[in-house]
Amino acid sequence: MWKSLNLVRVIETLLAIIFLVLIDQCTKIFISKIMLNNRFEDMQLLSFLNIVFVRNTGVSFGMFSEWGILGRYFFSIFSIVIGSFLILLAIFSDTKVFRSSLGLISSGALGNAIDRVYFGGVIDFIDFFIYNVHWPAFNFADIFITVGVILLLFDNIFNTKNEI
């Protein structure tokens, strides 16, 4: 499963992660400026999609948001440690799907960690809904994490190399 360290693989992996973190951060800054100019009022883009401004001080779905400053530092450090560990795993992985999955997850974790450090919480702005049923607001980092986990699951389920 683990090949020797390849400099090209290291550079590709790190550049991809940096690119994804930049996409995440740039979209959050862009949306924050738009929302500031719009007095932070929700903006409807499509019949099922709004742009909103939510500062999530907890984790998924706002859990643990009552932890305050302790939660801010704990979840920031936790995200940075996990994101960094996943980068190392991705660099040493020999399968492209596994490496890509871990790269997506780590870039999402690091993107949200940056928000926690600088803003005290994660900036969420995508509000997907059907009629009056709204999914919790999310951002591109959350999308990266979700797609990475789905890729890992598919790779695990459909990988033809069964090790017994």
Catalytic residue numbers, as ranges: 124, 142
3-state secondary structure of 160: coil
Two tokens at 9? 């693989």
Q: What is the secondary structure of 83-150 as a DSSP string?
A: HHHHHHHHHHB--HHHHHHHHHHHHHHHHHHHHHHHHSSEEEEEEEEETTEEPPPB-HHHHHHHHHHH
Measured distance CA(148)–CA(106) in Å, rounded = 9
Hey, what's the torsion of the CAs at 125, 130, 136, 139, to 10 degrees? -30
Distances in Å between the alpha carbon of 146 and those of 111, 140, 149, 150, 160? 14, 10, 5, 6, 23
